[in-house]
Every structure is written in structure tokens, then in C-alpha cells.
């Protein structure tokens, strides 16, 4: 079974002293997926990713990458060729130019000419650093260094990318650029495991998510399944008239569970249990009750709300 | 061709790109040329002055020499020119360049390698290299070739003058190349040691480079002093240390010039010829002697490399596996005993044997450091041994061969290997009346080393980030404090014999100890070993208990 999976772990455990940072995790990620790992600080995300990248020795358990056992020695060079790992800090060599840095890693990953040169151009274009290729690394901005690190991570065309907090500390434009690059890599068929505290980014990028708490993987499912199971349907309504009359009318409808007033606006966010037909009937009844509606549209609860609603807030 | 070399080793490529800059090339070239110029000018200054008509004396003249002076009276030929010993002049330049090159290569090179690797480790960049498909050998060979690249260029620029000086001193070309081979082999050995040192977590990052290069400098200064001295062979195990000095080979080169010992006055020809190994004089012929020196370097570079490979891929690994340690002990004891048994005189044998015990102590301290796992590994082993065991879950197999088990049993096996190897020689060689002292000494020092091993392992399982330093300080205190106390009390070997028997050198005092004192000492040491062993077993059991058990036991206490 493990051969169909990009990542499979069995009983993966890591202890620091008596504290169990990662506890008996059985993680399975299918090929081609973008898997988001979320959880509070200290939940064990970084330790898990470091073990998957062979940067940390597991206390116990086994890791399989595309069906091959991952060990922390020099016995599996072909497996290392398939892995790309970007940690949350990204140390670089300040004395090299952007080109020489990528050339160095391309050689370490045994890329031969002319493929090596072509590949360096490709990744420089992808991370939008083509015009900086002759610059010394110490002169780059934080966002550029982050993108250069990503370029280093993908220089050897890995089939599995492990990204630990890749957008932390980046400004909104740099984050957007980073998201776009990840989408391109996903389209290229890479399996990506990404941890982040920016849940809106994960909601946009991921096909599956895993939630970690106190070292346990408490949830691991596809994003669609998670929304289906846990996301409530909500309707945003705004009126020109009194909110009280709108609330009175809503109180008459048995499918309306609850509502909350959106501060600063004359509008409500309504939890509604019905389907599309019932939503249409609700709209009709409000218009018949002469409520001067200016806005009426359906939204779904976002990933952040679902995460908070699940109650996984406690740091270990 | 350059591209082929750069393609061959990516790490070498990276070092070249980072270091070979125009500014560095100019600095290296100028410093090499200026140093060569200064050396030649200094030796030219030692020649008699052409314009000075008065009587002159020089090392390079052939005239009458006063006793206790190396200065010869200078004489002129019939044409009025000074008669100069040009062969000696060039030999001096050759030797001077050789020694400066050895010091520069080994001291500066060691510093550069340790500083570079510790910086990469602390910044975290070394981790990225570890995750690539390259082998440890490929990366670290690239480092050894690339990091001191500017130093190499300084030395290479001095090579033409060095070679020409050698030829003018009438040194055979084959021997000059023999010296180059020994220097390269010494670089491989000392640089491997430097890399291993930088992969160990025992000292602050900045301190390691100074410690490593300082130790090499101390060794080279001492070894140069000994090798240049008239009586450079002590016929003890210390001679083994001196053949780790590449300048030792220069003895053969000086000898090949056929200049007399009194004329040259350094690297005397008897320097290596009187050296014996298991009573055989292997170092008489230069070819054989240089080959043995190279073989010695290769053997110990190989063992250093075993540790380097293990630590590079997994920094939490012990430096050696238990199986490797058994082989290493075998080699170490076989070679050190070979240099110990250079004499058949009873008095010398006894003292050589005491020196051998010092060597064994140093080796075992190294083995204790190389084999003892730290707290986390020990706790993980104790907790998950039954689930992870590759040795069929049998405890004795785990303790003898296991990667993460405590080191005490393995150290005991290593001690047994050493004792079993040494024992026959005690009966074959004429120790005469000292035989019983040497036998008891061997037994007591084995117990003392086992005691050190178990104490070190206990301290390494302490909950302190500086446990390695604590362990080193404790063991060093146990070695040094008894001697300091005995010195302060002005105690001779005959006084306080029981205290002497608790040091690592009990043999010296055994002549003055009664059998009952010896028995008390042995029983005391064994009791201490048993108690500490019991304490360690208790600690490991506690560490190996499951979380539920700990929870229940703590709730019972409450």
C-alpha cells in the first residue's frame, strides 16, 4: 500500500527527555497532494517535518517515501534526490552569488551540463530572481532570500517538497508571490507538505490538511471532507432599515440557527441549516416582509474558524 | 581540465568559488615570495662578506673549527675567492623551507578547517549538504582540498625553490618525493582529526579551532625539538608519537647528502636507524622507513575517517561503533606494545611498561568518549529497546554490539583485549623480579579504567546540557587529584601505597605494597564498580519505564 503513497509513516515518535514531541504518528499523504499541517506552536509540526526530511533521527517508527524506507545515513542517495526540504530558517552562503549558490547545489544533486544550466535558469525565472543572478547573496532582501532558498529546494526537481513555515516573516506581496510559485509546483505534479500559521494561505493551496496537537495527529483528511463535515453554511445580510425588524423576521424561520451582528455595518451573519431551495424561500419571505435588503449572499466558514471551533488551541 | 576537476567534487567547486578571488591570490603570492626571499637573504647573510678582508668565520666555510662552535674559519682559494660549502648552504635552505611548510600546512590548515566546519554547523548550512545524495567522503574531501586552497598555493609557489635547494644539496629525487608523500599523508591525518574534532559537540564554536591548532602546534614544536636532537630515539612507546611528525623523514634526506653529523648538526643519521619494533630494526633503509611512516598515517587516518563518516551523517551517533572499537584497540595495543618492547634490559622494560600504561590510559579515555552514548540516546534505548532491538532483543548482545546501549560492557571487552594481547609478552620478556608487580599493575589499572568508564557513562546520563564537560572534568580530576595530593603530602612511592593503587599508574608503587594492600585496593575498586553499575541499572530502569507507569508511581507518591 505504501507504494501508492508519497509519504507513509508508521508509529513515528520523537522524544526529547521524557517529553514526546511527536507521538506515534501514522501519516499518509498521496502523490500529487498539497498537504497542509496546522497546529499551535509546540505541537510537533517542525519535528515531524525534520524527521520526514531525514534532518532528525526518529526515536521510533518508520518513514517511507514513495515506498522506500528513509534512513539517516548515506545508504539511500536516490531517496535524497527525490526530497526537497525548506526549513523555517534559511541559512545561506553570504559570500556566493545567486548563480554560484544554485550551481553548487545543482552539482551536489548531480545535475549534469547542459541540463544543469537550463535548470538554474528555469528556477531563477520561477522565483523571479533572474535579474539578481550575479548579485552576492548578502545583498538580497529577506523575501528574495526566501525565494532563493525555495529555488535551492527545487533545483533537483524533487517529487516531494517539505516546506516548514515558508511564508513566516514575509510581507503580503512576497507571500502572494510565494503562493503563486507553490501553485505552479503543484501543477507540475509535486507532492507538497507545508506547515503554516497563515490558514488562509493553506485553504487556498491545500488539498488535504492534518491537525497536530501535543504531538498527536488529531485530524488528517481532505480539505473538501473537512468543510463538508465541519463548516456551517452562513448567509450575510445587510439592510437599509432597522436590524431589529430583520432579526424579528429571522426568528420566525425554523432553519435559522443563530446570527451575529457584524460590527460597524448594518448587517448580520446568519447560520442557516437549509439547502438552496430553503435559502430562496428565506429571501422571498424577507422581501415580502418589506425588509429593505441591500446584501444577501452565502459564505462558508473558513479554515481558521473551523480550526478554532475544533478547540485545538492548547500549546504543548 | 579545470571544469573536470570542479565537476568531480561539488564541495571543492564551492570552496574555489568562495575563496579564489583576485585579492586572495595577490596576498598568497606576495606572502609566499616575500617569505622565500627573506629565507634566502638570511642564509646569504651567513656567508662570509666578499668585501671584508679580515678573518671571518661561517657555518659554510671549510676551515678550522673551534670546539663547542659551529663556525668554521673561512679560507680563500688561489684565485682569492671564498671556499664555501654550498651543499650545506642549500641543505639549510631546504630544511628551513620544509619545517616552515610543515608548520604552516598543519597548524594553519587545521585552524582553517575547524573554523570553517564549526561555522557551517552553527549556521545550519551543513544540514543542507547532509540532505544531498553526496557521501561524507566526497563532501569532506572537497573541504580538505578546498578550504586551505590559498595556503596550498602559498606552499606550491615555494615548491620550485624547495626542490632546487634539495637537488643542490645532493638529496636524491626519490627521497625528496618521499618527504612530499609523508607531508601529504600527515596533512590527511591531521586534517581528518580536525574534521572529527569539529563534528564533536564539546566546546564553544570559536574555541575549537584554537584548541585544535594549538594542540597541533604544541605537538610540532615538541616533535621538531626531539627529531633535531642528537638522541631522538628513546626506545619507548614515545617513539611511536614521533613518527607522526612528517619531519622525521628529513633524517633520511640529511643522511643521503653524506655530510657529516658534526657539519650538519641536526637530524642525525642515527635518528631512525636505532628505532626498533618488536626488536626488529625496520627503519634502517629509507624506502622501508618512509613506507612504514606512510602506513602508520594511513592506518590512523582510516580510523579517524570511520568516526568522521558516522558523525557527519548523524551527529547524535557515537564516534565509533562497539565492533569498530574492538578492532581499534587491537591495532593500538599491537603497535604500542611493539614500540614498548624495544629493549631486553629489565630496568628499561619496567619503565617502558609504565609508559605503555599511560598510552593505554589515553586510548581508553578516547574510547570512553567515543563509545558512551549521551542521556537522550540512553533513555530512548532503555524505553524502546524491546521494540527497536536488532540483536534479537537479547540484552548481552545489545551491550556488546548495540549502537545505543551503554558503553561499560564494551569498554570491559576492550580492556580484556588489551590485557590478553599484552600478557604473553610479560612472560616472554625478562621482567624477572618485576613480573608480579607488572601483572598486578595491569589488573589494577584495568579496574581503574573500568571505574572511569562507568563514572563517565553515569555523568553522561545526567540532566545537564554540559554533561560532556562535567564528565571530562570529573575523570581528569580523578586522574590528577591523587597525584597532586601525593605531591602536596611529599609522599614517595613507599608512602601511602593504597592511594597510589587508586591512580591510573599503580605499577610504580607496587614494589612497596604488601599483598593485603593490593587485595584491599582491588576489592575496593570492584566494590565501587559494582555499586556504580547497580546505580546505572536503576537509572536506566527508571528511564525505561512507560509514561503510564511513571504517572501511576507519581500518583502513588502523592
Residue of A92, A96, A105 with shortest CB distance to B17: A96
| End-to-end CA separation in angstroms for chain B | 75
Whether A192 shows a pLDDT value over 90: the answer reads yes
B79 and B20 fall within a common domain: no
Best A87, A91, A151 member to test B by mutation, with max B CBs in 10 Å, is A91
pLDDT of residue B271: 73
Arithmetic mean of pLDDT, A246-254: 87
Q: Tell whether B73 and B6 lie within a shared domain.
A: no
Of A213-217, B196-200, B501-505, the least confident: B501-505
Question: Residues B16, B132: one domain?
Answer: yes
In this structure, are B294 and B354 located in the same domain?
Answer: no
Q: Average the pLDDT over each of A74-83, B48-57, B472-481, B535-544 and give the range with the smallest value.
A: B48-57
Task: Give the pLDDT score at B97.
Answer: 96
Which of B132, B140, B553 is the best mutation test for A, with the most CBs of A within 10 A? B132
Chain B residues touching A54 at Cβ < 8 A: 131
> Nearest C-alpha of chain A: how many angstroms from B17?
7
Residue B310 falls within a domain, yes or no? no
| B42-51, B247-256, B359-368, B542-551: segment of lowest average pLDDT | B542-551
Please compute the mean of the pLDDT values over residues A90-100 and round it to a whole number: 90
Q: Does one domain contain both B179 and B277?
A: yes
- Mean pLDDT of the B323-333 span: 96
pLDDT at position B449, please? 93
Average the pLDDT over each of A67-71, A147-151, B523-527, B550-554 and give the range with the smallest value. Answer: B550-554
What distances in angstroms separate CA A302 from CA A200, A226, A227, A255, one per listed residue?
8, 11, 8, 21
Inter-chain contact A55–B134, Cβ cutoff 8 Å?
A: no
Per CB-CB distance under 8 Å, the chain B contacts of A20 are 547
pLDDT of B192 above 70: yes
Q: Are B218 and B245 in contact (CB under 8 A)?
A: no
Question: In angstroms, what separates the C-alpha of B465 from chain A's closest C-alpha?
Answer: 12
B306: in domain: no
Interchain contact A60–B (C-beta under 8 A): yes
Give the residue, A306 or B291, on which the prediction is more confident. Answer: B291
Answer yes or no: same fold for A2-227 and A232-300: no
Distance between B14 CA and the closest CA of chain A, angstroms: 6
What is the mean pLDDT of the segment spanning B209-232? 90
Taking the mean position of all CA atoms in its chain, how far away is CA B155? 24
B391 and B404 in contact (C-beta within 8 Å)? no
Residue A290: the pLDDT is: 87
Asked if residue B31 belongs to a domain, the reply is yes
Q: pLDDT, tens digit, for every residue of B290-302?
A: 999 999 999 999 9
For residue B210, give the C-alpha cell.
Answer: 584554537
Strands A60-65 and A68-69: antiparallel
Q: Give strand pairing partners of A25.
A: A12
Q: How confident is the model at residue A315 (pLDDT cuts 50, 70, 90)?
A: very low
CA distances from A4 to A31, A65, A77, A265, B554 (A): 7, 10, 21, 51, 45
CB contact under 8 A, A74 and B127: no
pLDDT at A312 exceeding the cut of 70: no
User: A293 and A235 in contact (C-beta within 8 Å)?
Assistant: no
What residues have CB less than 8 Å from B483, skipping those under 6 apart?
B503
Does residue B124 register a pLDDT over 50?
A: yes
Q: What average pLDDT score do residues A185-199 get?
A: 87
| Mean pLDDT rounded to a whole number for chain B | 88
HSE-up of residue B198 (Cα within 13 Å, Cβ side): 28
Report percent pLDDT > 90 for chain B: 50
Contacts of A109 in chain B (CB under 8 A): 132-133
The x, y and z cell numbers of residue A38, run together, are 496546522
CA A107 to chain B, closest CA, distance in angstroms equals 5
C-alpha cell recorded at residue B449: 579504567
DSSP labels, B128-195: HHHTSS--HHHHHHHHHHHTTHHHHHHHHHHHHHHHHHHHHTT--HHHHHHHHHHHHHHHHHHHHHHH
Residues B461 and B530 in one domain: yes
Residue A1's pLDDT is 45
C-alpha distances in Å from residue B169, one per residue of B246, B256, B290: 20, 9, 20
Q: Is the pLDDT of residue B180 over 50?
A: yes
- Here the cell at position A86 is 525548506
User: For B55-88, how does the pLDDT look when each residue is reduced to its tens digit (9 = 90+)?
Assistant: 777 888 877 666 566 677 777 777 777 888 899 9
Chain A interface, best mutation among B16, B133, B136, B539, by max A CB count within 10 A: B133
Do B28 and B59 lie in a common domain? no
Q: Using the predicted structure, report yes or no on whether residue A2 has a pLDDT greater than 50.
A: no
Residues B241-249, mean pLDDT to the nearest whole number: 92
Q: Which A residues in the span 218-277 are in contact with B, Cβ-Cβ below 8 Å?
A: none
How many degrees, rounded to 5, is the angle at CA B153 between CA B152 and CA B155?
65
Residues of A in contact with B550 (CB under 8 A): 18
Between helix A142-154 and helix A115-126 the angle, nearest 10°, is: 140
Question: What are the two backbone dihedrals, phi and then psi, of residue A203, each rounded to the nearest 5 degrees?
Answer: -60, -35
Regarding whether B180 and B63 lie in a shared domain, the answer is no
Region of poorest pLDDT, from A1-15, A194-208, B403-417: A1-15
CB-based contact B442:B414 (threshold 8 Å): no
pLDDT value at residue B390: 58
Architecture of domain A232-300: 2-Layer Sandwich (3.30)
Count of beta carbons in the 10 Å neighbourhood of residue B506: 27
Number of domains observed in the structure of chain B: 3
What are the backbone dihedrals phi and psi of residue B30, each rounded to the nearest 5 degrees, phi first? Answer: -65, -45
- Indicate whether B275 and B415 sit together in one domain: no
Give the residue, A161 or A143, on which the prediction is more confident.
A161
pLDDT at A253: 86
pLDDT of residue B498: 81
- pLDDT for A3 equals 46
- B357 close to B505: Cβ distance less than 8 angstroms: yes
Residue linked to cell 589494577: B444
In a mutational test of the B interface, the residue from A108, A115, A153, A158 whose CB has the highest number of chain B CBs within 10 Å is A108
CA B198 – CA B307 distance, rounded (Å): 12
Contacts of A74 in chain B (CB under 8 A): 135-136, 309, 313
Domain A2-227 class, CATH top level? alpha beta
The number of beta carbons lying within 10 Å of the beta carbon of residue A262 is 13
CA–CA separation, A313 vs A300, rounded Å? 21
Q: In angstroms, what separates the C-alpha of A230 from chain B's closest C-alpha?
A: 33
Q: Which of B34-43, B107-116, B222-231, B468-477 has the lowest mean pLDDT?
A: B222-231
- pLDDT for position B301: 97
Higher pLDDT, B510 or B269: B510
Q: d(Cα B453, Cα B407) in Å, to the nearest integer?
A: 8
pLDDT band at B556 (very low <50, low <70, confident <90, very high): low
Region A51-70 average pLDDT: 90
Q: What is the pTM of this model?
A: 0.88
Asked if residue B401 is part of any domain, the answer here is: yes
pLDDT of A316 higher than 50: no
Please indicate, yes or no, whether residues B17 and B58 belong to a single structural domain of this protein: no
Least confident of A40-54, B261-275, B540-554: B540-554
Q: Hey, where are the domains in chain A?
A: 2-227, 232-300
Indicate whether B507 pLDDT > 90: no
Which structural domain range is residue B145 located in?
A: 2-40+86-301
Same domain for B256 and B163: yes
How do residues B359-407 score in pLDDT, each as one tens digit? Answer: 999 999 999 999 999 888 888 888 888 776 555 568 888 889 888 889 9
A232 exposure class (CB count in 10 Å sphere: 0-12, 13-18, 19+):
middle
- B384 CB neighbours in chain A (<8 A) are 59-60
Give the pLDDT score at B69: 64
Question: What pLDDT does residue B361 have?
Answer: 92
User: What is the spatial order of strands in the sheet that A233-239 belongs to?
Assistant: A256-262, A267-272, A233-239, A293-300
- Which whole number is the average pLDDT over A282-308? 83
Q: Looking up cell 604500542, which residue turns up?
A: B336
Give the 3-state secondary structure of B487-542.
HHCCCCCCCCHHHHCCCCCCHHHHCCCCHHHHHHHHHHHHHHHHHHHHHHHHHHHH
Share of chain B above pLDDT 70, in %: 94
Instruction: Kindly state whether residues B471 and B526 are assigned to the same domain.
Output: yes
- Flag whether B413 is in a domain: yes
Residue tagged 560532556 (cell numbers): B468
- Rounded distance between C-alpha atoms, residue B230 and residue B232, angstroms: 6
CB atoms under 10 Å from CB of A245, counted, come to 15
Q: Is the peptide bond before B154 cis (omega within 30 degrees of 0)?
A: no
pLDDT category, B91, cuts 50, 70, 90?
Answer: very high
Listed residues B301, B332, B353: the one ending a domain: B301
Amino acid at each position: 500500500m505504501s507504494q501508492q503513497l508519497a509519504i507513509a509513516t508508521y508509529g513515528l515518535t520523537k522524544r526529547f527527555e521524557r517529553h514526546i514531541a511527536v507521538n506515534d504518528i501514522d501519516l499518509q499523504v498521496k502523490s500529487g497532494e498539497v498537504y497542509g499541517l496546522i497546529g499551535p506552536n509546540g505541537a510537533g509540526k517542525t519535528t515531524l517535518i525534520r524527521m520526514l526530511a531525514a534532518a532528525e533521527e526518529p526515536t521510533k517508527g518508520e518513514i517511507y517515501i514513495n515506498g522506500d524506507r528513509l534512513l539517516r545515513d548515506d545508504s539511500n542517495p536516490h531517496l535524497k534526490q527525490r526530497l526537497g526540504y525548506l526549513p523555517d530558517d534559511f541559512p545561506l552562503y553570504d559570500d556566493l552569488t545567486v548563480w554560484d549558490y544554485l550551481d553548487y547545489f545543482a552539482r551536489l544533486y548531480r545535475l549534469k551540463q547542459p541540463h544543469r544550466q537550463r535548470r538554474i535558469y528555469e528556477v531563477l525565472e520561477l522565483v523571479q530572481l533572474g535579474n539578481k543572478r550575479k548579485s552576492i547573496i548578502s545583498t538580497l532582501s529577506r523575501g528574495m532570500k526566501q525565494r532563493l532558498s525555495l529555488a535551492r529546494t527545487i533545483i533537483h526537481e524533487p517529487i516531494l517538497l517539505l516546506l516548514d513555515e515558508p511564508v513566516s516573516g514575509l510581507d503580503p506581496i512576497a507571500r502572494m508571490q510565494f503562493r503563486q510559485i507553490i501553485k505552479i509546483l503543484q501543477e507540475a505534479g509535486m507532492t507538497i507538505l507545508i506547515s503554516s500559521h497563515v490558514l488562509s494561505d493553506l485553504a487556498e493551496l491545500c488539498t488535504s490538511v492534518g491537525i497536530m496537537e501535543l504531538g498527536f495527529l488529531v485530524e488528517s483528511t481532505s480539505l473538501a471532507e473537512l468543510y463538508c463535515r465541519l463548516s456551517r453554511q452562513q448567509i450575510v445580510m445587510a439592510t437599509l432599515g432597522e436590524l431589529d425588524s430583520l432579526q424579528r423576521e429571522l426568528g420566525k424561520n425554523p432553519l435559522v440557527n443563530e446570527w451575529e451582528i457584524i460590527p460597524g455595518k448594518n448587517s448580520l451573519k446568519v447560520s442557516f441549516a437549509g439547502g438552496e431551495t430553503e435559502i430562496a424561500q428565506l429571501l422571498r419571505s424577507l422581501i415580502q416582509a418589506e425588509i429593505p435588503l441591500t446584501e444577501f449572499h452565502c459564505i462558508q466558514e473558513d479554515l481558521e474558524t473551523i480550526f478554532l471551533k475544533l478547540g485545538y488551541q492548547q500549546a504543548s | 581540465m579545470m571544469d573536470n576537476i570542479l565537476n568531480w567534487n561539488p564541495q571543492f567547486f564551492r570552496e574555489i568559488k568562495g575563496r579564489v578571488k583576485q585579492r586572495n591570490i595577490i596576498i598568497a603570492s606576495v606572502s609566499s615570495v616575500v617569505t622565500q626571499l627573506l629565507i634566502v637573504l638570511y642564509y646569504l647573510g651567513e656567508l662570509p662578506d666578499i668585501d671584508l678582508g679580515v678573518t671571518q668565520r661561517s657555518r659554510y666555510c671549510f676551515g678550522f673549527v673551534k670546539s663547542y662552535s659551529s663556525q668554521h674559519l673561512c679560507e680563500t682559494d688561489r684565485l682569492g675567492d671564498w671556499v664555501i660549502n654550498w651543499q650545506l648552504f642549500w641543505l639549510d635552505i631546504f630544511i628551513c623551507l620544509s619545517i616552515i611548510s610543515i608548520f604552516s600546512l598543519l597548524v594553519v590548515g587545521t585552524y582553517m578547517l575547524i573554523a570553517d566546519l564549526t561555522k557551517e554547523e552553527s549556521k545550519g548550512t551543513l544540514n543542507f549538504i547532509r540532505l544531498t545524495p553526496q557521501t561524507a567522503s566526497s563532501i569532506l574531501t572537497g573541504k580538505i582540498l578546498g578550504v586551505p586552497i590559498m595556503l596550498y598555493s602559498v606552499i606550491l609557489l615555494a615548491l620550485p625553490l624547495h626542490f632546487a635547494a634539495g637537488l643542490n644539496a645532493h638529496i636524491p629525487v626519490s627521497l625528496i618525493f618521499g618527504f612530499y608523500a609523508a607531508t601529504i599523508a600527515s596533512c590527511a591525518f591531521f586534517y581528518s582529526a580536525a574534521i572529527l574534532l569539529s563534528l564533536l559537540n564539546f566546546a564553544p564554536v570559536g574555541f575549537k579551532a584554537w584548541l585544535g591548532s594549538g594542540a597541533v602546534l604544541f605537538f610540532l614544536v615538541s616533535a621538531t625539538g626531539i627529531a633535531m636532537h642528537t638522541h631522538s630515539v628513546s626506545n619507548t612507546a614515545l617513539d611511536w608519537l614521533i613518527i607522526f611528525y612528517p619531519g622525521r623523514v628529513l633524517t633520511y634526506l640529511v643522511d643521503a647528502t653524506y655530510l657529516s653529523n658534526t657539519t650538519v648538526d641536526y637530524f642525525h643519521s642515527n635518528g631512525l636507524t636505532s628505532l626498533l619494533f618488536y626488536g626488529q630494526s625496520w627503519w634502517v633503509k629509507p624506502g622501508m622507513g618512509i613506507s612504514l611512516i606512510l602506513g602508520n598515517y594511513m592506518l590512523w587516518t582510516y580510523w579517524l575517517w570511520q568516526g568522521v563518516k558516522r558523525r557527519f551523517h548523524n551527529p547524535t551517533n557515537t564516534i565509533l561503533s562497539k565492533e569498530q572499537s574492538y578492532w581499534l584497540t587491537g591495532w593500538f595495543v599491537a603497535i604500542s606494545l611493539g614500540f614498548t618492547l624495544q629493549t631486553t634490559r629489565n630496568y628499561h622494560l619496567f619503565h617502558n611498561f609504565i609508559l605503555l600504561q599511560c598510552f593505554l590510559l589515553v586510548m581508553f579515555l578516547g574510547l570512553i568518549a567515543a563509545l558512551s552514548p549521551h542521556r537522550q540516546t540512553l533513555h530512548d534505548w532503555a524505553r524502546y529497546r524491546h521494540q527497536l532491538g536488532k540483536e534479537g532483543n537479547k540484552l548481552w548482545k545489545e551491550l556488546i554490539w548495540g549502537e545505543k546501549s551503554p558503553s561499560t560492557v564494551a569498554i570491559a571487552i576492550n580492556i580484556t583485549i588489551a590485557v590478553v594481547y599484552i600478557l604473553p609478552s610479560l612472560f616472554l620478556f625478562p621482567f624477572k623480579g618485576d613480573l608480579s608487580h607488572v601483572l598486578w599493575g595491569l589488573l589494577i589499572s584495568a579496574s581503574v579504567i573500568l571505574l572511569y568508564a562507568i563514572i563517565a557513562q553515569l555523568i553522561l546520563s545526567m540532566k545537564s546540557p554540559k554533561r560532556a564537560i562535567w564528565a571530562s572534568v570529573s575523570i581528569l580530576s580523578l586522574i590528577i587529584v591523587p597525584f597532586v595530593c601525593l605531591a602536596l603530602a611529599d609522599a614517595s612511592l613507599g608512602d601511602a601505597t593504597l592511594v597510589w593503587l587508586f591512580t591510573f599508574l599503580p605499577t610504580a608503587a607496587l614494589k612497596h605494597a604488601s599483598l593485603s594492600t593490593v587485595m584491599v585496593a582491588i576489592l575496593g575498586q570492584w566494590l565501587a564498580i559494582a555499586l556504580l553499575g547497580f546505580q546505572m541499572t536503576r537509572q536506566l530502569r527508571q528511564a525505561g519505564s512507560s509514561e503510564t507507569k511513571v504517572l501511576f508511581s507519581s500518583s502513588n507518591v502523592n
